[in-house]
Each structure stands twice: as C-alpha cells, then as structure tokens.
A and B are shown apart, each in its own frame.
Chain A
Amino acid sequence: MNVWTIILLASIAVLALKLLGFLVPAAWAEKPTAARLASLLTVSLLAALIVVQSFGSARGFEVDARLPAVLVAAILFALRVPFIIVIVAAALVAAGIRAFL
C-alpha cells in the first residue's frame, strides 16, 4: 500500500463510523457495554501509542531522551498546563538533552 491509499482508506473508514451513528436507532447509545468498550478502546490505544512512541526504535525497544521528555510532559499535564505548551516543552527537553549530552 502506498501512503495515499492508506490515508484515503483510513479517512473514509473513520468518516463512515461517524455517519453510522446517524443511521442506527438512538437507543443504542444507552447501552452501557458499548459505551464502556468504546471509551476503554480509546484509552488502551492511546496508552499503547505512548509506549511505542516513547521507546520504539529500529532495534525494538530503546530508552533515550524521549523518556525524560515524556515525564516532563506528564508533570505539566498534571499541573493543567495547556496542551500546545506541553508539546513544545517535551520537544525542547528531548532536543536539549540530545544537543548537550
């Protein structure tokens, strides 16, 4: 698959999922298991993506400047610092460590 195929397939599928919700009876929204599954699926994917993005490398698993950057981001999120500032701070921590160590 080339990049365009991946982008278009994924975009159409995500859009179709949104439209699906407009087609089925509203009572489905009240099903607690469906709501819980959708919510927990989101949580599990995001948690796994954090790990892959923090430690992923060509060799599989690697600890480097990304780990302190993510830890700083966690502290800033806990302090309710706005998203965009935390992202920039995380980038600066990793860039700083790579530049000076």
Chain B
Amino acid sequence: MTGAQRAVRPAEVSAAIRSSFAVGLAVAAYGISFGALAVAAGLDVWQTCVLSLLMFSGGSQFALVGVLATGGTAAGGAAIASAVLLGARNSLYALRVAPMIGPGVAKRLLAGHWTIDESTAVSTGQPTLASQRAGFWWTGAIIYVGWNLTTLIGALIGDQLGDVSQYGLDAAAAAAFLGLLWPRLKQAQPIVVAIGAAVVAAMLMPVLPAGIPVLAATVVAIVVGLTNWWGTRESDIVEAEPDPMGER
C-alpha cells in the first residue's frame, strides 16, 4: 500500500467512526446519572471516579453502588459478586473482539479494558477488518473519556444535593436498571427470566440480608440457561448480541 492510498479513508471505516460517535456520545451522557447515584449510595467523589476509571462497565458499576446503597459495606461481598456476575458477559465479548485486535500485550490489555457492550456491538457490526478495528477503538475511546468525565460531573452534582430521596435519586436508580434491561427483552426467554428473577428477589427481600436476593435470583437464569426452556435455536445467536443504549 502506498502512502497516497493510506491517506484515503475507506468508506466503511468512515461509517464505523460515525457509528462510534453516535453510540459513544449517547452512552457517555448517562455517566452523569452513575456519578450522582454513586455519591448518593455513600461513595465519595474519588471512589466514584476510580470505579469508572478501573471497572469501566456500566451495568457492574450500577449494580455495585445499588447493592451498597441498600445494604452498606455489610453487603460488600454481595455487591462484589453482583458486579462480577454482571461483568461475566464481557468475557464473551472479549472472545469475539480478540481476533480483530491482533498481537501486542499493551494493545490487548487496553482493548480488554475497553471491551464493553457498546465497543463490541459497533465493531462486530462492521463489514471489514479495518472498519471493525476503527469501530472498536473509536467507540472505546469516546466512551472511556466521556464516561469518566460525566461520572466526575455527576459525582460533583450528587455531592451538592444532600438528601437523596428528596430529589427522587432512589427512583432514578431503579429506572437506570430498567433502561439497561429494556433492550434485552426482545424474546420470550429473557422476558421469562426477567419476570422469574423479579419474583424471586421480591419474595426473598423481606427475609434475607441486602444483596443476597439479587444473587439468589440468578438461579432462574442458570436453570433456564442450562435447560434452554423457552429458547429457540435462533435465540442462541441473537441473545449473544450486545445491544448498545446509544442505538435507541
């Protein structure tokens, strides 16, 4: 390839970068709600920012502060377990992303850190290797920078608010989980699991310590997942696809 050819960006790569911006900017915006909710849950601004910098996985971060908000540090074990279980899907995303990243330890470490719903969705949706790479790195970079900036802004706002329930922030946390769940409810099987898990959690809440009902509800997913009740052959493929919030 000559220098002149390299300077021209293929149309697929340009399209991938445009998708990255569309998805990335929309997703980065809700770091504000994470920052505010984390501070409301009792974290300080530093702790909130370290979560976004180091954990960098929205669902896991919301889960960790959600369990801490209801159970405090006594529910620390359950909070960690919830975050880790919610992060399990990232392992599968990484399997799909790894071939397009190529060799190099530093590059693969950074790619691993940026392997989330959105970077996986944008990259795997592209037609060529070059556009897949562009989609992955641009989406990862835009969301990493944006998510951490908006987390800081949200944490500073939350820090000023004081009484959480007066501003409805506890309801906002529930709505945030609903927003993360919503795009996953397109088929019978996940809908059945969602309803079953909700019922299990509701029944166990009055009798078990905070955090445990959330973990216990995963039994529904394990039973349905292993037996493939309510499943279809196509659902195996479709359900594995991440669905970025930014596409809504």
Candidates B29, B56, B221, B248; contact of A44 at CB < 8 Å: B221
Judge whether B197 and A48 touch: CB under 8 Å: yes
B-contact bits for A9-35, CB 8 A (1 contact / 0 none): 111111101111110101011001111
The smallest C-beta distance from B232 to any residue of chain A, in angstroms, reads 11
Closest to A41 in B: B221
Whole-angstrom distance from the CB of A100 to the nearest CB of chain B? 12
If the complex has contacts A10-B79, A18-B112, are A43 and B73 also in contact, measured as CB distance less than 8 A? Answer: no
Instruction: Verify B213–A48 contact, CB threshold 8 A.
Output: yes
Interface residues on A, range: 35 or more
| Given the contacts A21-B98, A39-B190, A48 and B217 also touching, CB distance less than 8 Å | yes
B206, A66: Cβ atoms closer than 8 Å: no
Task: Known contacts A48-B200, A52-B213; decide if A84 and B32 are in contact (CB<8 Å).
Answer: yes
Residue of A15, A18, A98, A99 with highest tally of chain B CB at under 10 A = A18
Assess whether B181 is in contact with A14, with CB atoms less than 8 Å apart: no
For residue B123, CB closer than 8 A to chain A, the reply is no
Q: Mark B186-199, 1 if CB is under 8 A from A, else 0.
A: 00011001111110
Contact status of A69 and B174, CB under 8 A, knowing A6-B80, A95-B168: yes
Q: Which of A8, A41, A55, A69 has the most CB of B within 10 A?
A: A41
Contact, CB under 8 Å: A91 / B198: no
Given contact pairs A22-B94, A50-B177, enumerate 6 new A-B contacts (beta carbons under 8 Å): A28-B95, A33-B226, A38-B91, A40-B239, A46-B86, A56-B210
